[in-house]
Amino acid sequence: MAFKTLKTLMLGGVIATASVAGIAYAAGGGPVGDYKMKYVDWSFNGAFGQYDRAAMQRGYQVYREVCAACHGLKYVAFRHLGDEDGPYYLDDFPNPNDNPYVKNFAADWTIEDIDSETGDTIDRSGIPADYFPPIFPNDAAARASNGGALPPDLSSMVKARTGGADYVYNLLIAYDVPKPDEVELTPGLYWNPVMEGGKIAMPPQLSEGLVDYEPTEIIDHGESKMVDAPEATVEQMAYDVTQFLAWTADPKLEQRKSIGIMTLVYLLILSALLFASYKRVWRNVEH
Amino acid sequence: MSGHPSTYEPKYAASKWLDQRLPIVRMGADFMTFPSPRNLNYWYTFGGILALCLVVQIISGVILAMHYVADVDGAFASVQRIRRDVPFGWLLQSMHAVGASMFFLAVYMHMFRGLYYGSYKAPREVLWIIGCLIYLVMMATAFLGYTLPWGQMSFWGATVITGFFGAVPVVGEALQQWLLGGYAVDNATLTRFFALHYLLPFVIAALVGLHVWALHHVGQNNPIGITEKTKSDTLSFHPFYTVKDAFAIAVFLFIFAFFLFYLPDALGHADNYIEADAMKTPAHIVPEWYFLPFYAILRAVPSKLFGILLMLGAIVVLFVLPWLDTHKVRSMRFRPVARWFFLIFIVMCFILGWCGAGVPDDIAIPLGKDAGITFYRLGQAATLYYFAYFLVILPVLGLIEKPVKRPDSITKAVLGDQKRGAGLLPAE
């Protein structure tokens, strides 16, 4: 009897959650025409998923050299790059503000500030505590430089689109799909079947060999390791920058998943113990 | 609290002294020994689960409020800061957002349970009505809370929902402006929504107090709907139902944790990771999943005002249900006809949810090439059934349905006639 009711309960729970999730997913869109989404087996998928450190580092390079011409990253600070789940974490520098990579990257950027002596507006080089600065002084300036379109901030982009990382990756590689003849494009718009409606204001960005990849240093099980630079193909750059943007959108993913597995195991054991207690307390009671 | 005699005996001088002045320990002790029907199944564990949900939402919410900024220029950024920089802020924020979905999941199970076992019938009408009130305040709280992260869906959801009030004849526009604190959803709206979102959970907590009080006054219903008659029909709440509830809570928390850690965004909408923009309307404005059935009812008729009346009616009808279902048998286990209509009712609720998520003119059920039943038509049919169930089917069945033979008592239902007297007393 108890097992029967338990089964009913489980079944009810599964059906209810599945329907709820199904309804939530049903609301999403998809690519235009007959474009087939390429689904990548991302390293950060699954219960034990983790970001690919070397790809994230190359992805940062792609962001800095390509995307950052137009797109901001306003909710990310330079110090985040050296956080424990971040692309440039080093064991010797638990405080990311001391991390030499972070310091160098911050110094690459110019930050607008106020001189505390004179009150004048000055430009200084960035420090780890700074956030990625805005690319344009304001939205109107951003539109003026981009044919009226506003390049969105990329901090949470991977979470802000249905399809997540696969969406961003496919959007970047789908520019070479030929435009159907019946589609008319006004100047300043480009054909991209992954974009909702198929029309996008962003011109194609990635081309073979656009970025000079260099070997990257990563920390693997506490040991420093050099990873060879791959060929800078469009797919490789799209993959790398998607890894980086997946991290900027969800910087606590690794912590979340490792705590998650422990929590689920704990709750499983707790459920088993409580079920045993239940059987024992009720053992002489017919019900 | 209720009719059952108190068994609490203060042992020490201090506890005797307190018991004469404020019998709060006695109240707790009587709560723990409350005689509960011995045949309660797992559907009866959702009350305890819901109490836990409320506590989780209040605790996570109070901590989030310490880091949240209720201002149109800072709200979205403050949520980003919570997710990125506040220690375990990502956990609290997800727990609160996923927790809202889990709260509704549990409340729907709890309500369907009450509908099936006739828990709204005499003498539990007030208990049921308080429950409906809790559900209503929950809906308001969830709606207000969804506005606070100030994402695109927050903003446009608030715009659409408050727009309903504008459809009220004569005073609509004034009412809408009074609610919003202006002509559109803006800073005045956000700050008042935050204040009310913080207030309403405590109203819910007070209503839960009344709900439990009423429950203990009239006693729990049970799967066969037959009132307990003898001592052998009942068991002490503790340890029998504390342990059963605890097991159910652990299983529920497992499902909760699975969503929290592995699918934190599955029940939300991607657009809410984009900051609110009054100049840019999202392609499809959809509410959270737990409002989708009502959203489908709202869109079932072309008139805005009539749609709102229908949606309100869908909730109001729950309040008067005790007087619509006049059948004398509580549990649908013994109502061979009503149980089938109830099953269809549940299917229709899911269909309504599906229609709420769909685009009205899209084809839901294809019938041949480029033809079929649209979400609009399907939603209309399901809406019709929803109201017919309460307003026609249950009242008519109350007059004509013949129940199957029921057992004389809970004990007999559990043990059958032959084994009478065996195993009546619990262990220890």
User: The complex's ipTM?
Assistant: 0.91
CB contact under 8 Å between B269 and A27, yes or no, is yes
Shortest CA distance to B221 belongs to which of B407, B41, B341, B412? B41
Taking only the tens place, the pLDDT of each residue in B260-291 is 999 999 999 999 999 999 999 998 899 999 99
Taking only the tens place, the pLDDT of each residue in B121-166 is 999 999 999 999 999 999 999 999 999 999 999 999 999 999 988 8
Taking only the tens place, the pLDDT of each residue in A271-281 is 999 999 999 99
Among A26, A271, A286, select the one facing B415 at the smallest CB separation: A286
d(CA B214, CA B286) in angstroms, rounded, equals: 37
Taking only the tens place, the pLDDT of each residue in A34-61 is 899 999 999 999 999 999 999 999 999 9
Q: How confident is the model at residue A222 (pLDDT cuts 50, 70, 90)?
A: confident
pTM for the model stands at 0.93
CA dist list (Å): B1 to A224, B216, B218, B219: 67, 7, 10, 11
Searching chain A, which residue's CA lies closest to the CA of residue B288? A24
- Look at residue A19 in the predicted model and tell me its pLDDT: 54
Percent of chain B with pLDDT over 90: 87
Instruction: Output the six-digit token pair for B295.
Output: 């959203």
- Look at residue B259 in the predicted model and tell me its pLDDT: 97
Count of CB atoms situated within 10 Å of the CB of B373? 15
Taking only the tens place, the pLDDT of each residue in A23-36 is 444 444 578 888 99
Taking only the tens place, the pLDDT of each residue in B388-416 is 999 999 999 999 999 999 999 998 888 87
Q: Is A248 on the interface with B (CB under 8 A)?
A: no
Q: Are B140 and B195 contacting, i.e. CB atoms less than 8 angstroms apart?
A: no
Residue with tokens 């108890």: A2
Q: Are B288 and B146 contacting, i.e. CB atoms less than 8 angstroms apart?
A: yes
* Averaged pLDDT for residues A128-133: 96
CB contact under 8 Å between B261 and A259, yes or no, is yes
Taking only the tens place, the pLDDT of each residue in B82-112 is 999 999 999 999 999 999 999 999 999 999 9
Is 90 exceeded by the pLDDT of residue B424?
A: no
- Look at residue B70 in the predicted model and tell me its pLDDT: 97
Taking only the tens place, the pLDDT of each residue in B212-222 is 999 999 999 99
Instruction: Output the six-digit token pair for A265.
Output: 């195991």
Q: Are B227 and A269 contacting, i.e. CB atoms less than 8 angstroms apart?
A: no
Searching chain A, which residue's CA lies closest to the CA of residue B364? A26
Is 80 exceeded by the pLDDT of residue A196?
A: yes
CB contact under 8 Å between A6 and B284, yes or no, is no
Q: State the sign of the Cα–Cα–Cα–Cα dihedral B273, B279, B282, B283.
A: negative
Residue B320's contacts (CB-CB under 8 Å, 6 or more residues apart) are none
Q: How confident is the model at residue B422 (pLDDT cuts 50, 70, 90)?
A: very low
Query: If you average pLDDT over every residue of chain B, what do you get?
Result: 94
* Averaged pLDDT for residues B178-186: 95
Taking only the tens place, the pLDDT of each residue in A85-99 is 899 999 899 999 999
Percent of chain A with pLDDT over 70: 90
H or E segment at A167? Answer: helix A164-173
Q: According to the 3-state scheme, what is the secondary structure of A211-263?
A: CCCCCEEEEECCEEEEECCCCCCHHHHHHHHHHHHHHHHCCCHHHHHHHHHHH
Searching chain B, which residue's CA lies closest to the CA of residue A257? B261
d(CA A142, CA B401) in angstroms, rounded, equals: 70
Among B235, B254, B265, select the one facing A285 at the smallest CB separation: B235
Is 70 exceeded by the pLDDT of residue A21?
A: no
Q: How confident is the model at residue B428 (pLDDT cuts 50, 70, 90)?
A: very low
Residues of A in contact with B108 (CB under 8 A): 16
- Look at residue A217 in the predicted model and tell me its pLDDT: 85
- Look at residue A192 in the predicted model and tell me its pLDDT: 95
The per-type count for chain B, helices as H runs and strands as E runs, is 17, 4
Among B251, B273, B353, select the one facing A156 at the smallest CB separation: B273
Q: Are B122 and B322 contacting, i.e. CB atoms less than 8 angstroms apart?
A: yes
Strand bridging mode B234-236 / B363-366: unpaired
Is 70 exceeded by the pLDDT of residue A121?
A: yes
Shortest CA distance to A89 belongs to which of A216, A255, A226, A218? A218
Is 70 exceeded by the pLDDT of residue A2?
A: no
CB contact under 8 Å between B247 and A275, yes or no, is yes
- Look at residue A181 in the predicted model and tell me its pLDDT: 87
Q: How confident is the model at residue A182 (pLDDT cuts 50, 70, 90)?
A: confident
Taking only the tens place, the pLDDT of each residue in B39-78 is 999 999 999 999 999 999 999 999 999 999 999 999 999 9
Count of CB atoms situated within 10 Å of the CB of A264? 18
B374 phi and psi, to 5 degrees? -80, 165
Is 60 exceeded by the pLDDT of residue B115?
A: yes
Is 60 exceeded by the pLDDT of residue B311?
A: yes
Shortest CA distance to A189 belongs to which of A207, A178, A203, A176? A203
Is 80 exceeded by the pLDDT of residue B4?
A: no
A residues 129-158 closer than 8 Å to B (CB): 152, 155-156
Q: How confident is the model at residue A5 (pLDDT cuts 50, 70, 90)?
A: low
Among A25, A196, A271, select the one facing B254 at the smallest CB separation: A271
Taking only the tens place, the pLDDT of each residue in B185-209 is 999 999 999 999 999 999 999 999 9
A266 phi and psi, to 5 degrees? -60, -45
Residue B427 DSSP symbol: P
* Averaged pLDDT for residues B347-362: 94
Query: If you average pLDDT over every residue of chain A, what do you get?
Result: 90
Looking from the CA of A125 toward its CB, the CA atoms found within 13 Å total 7
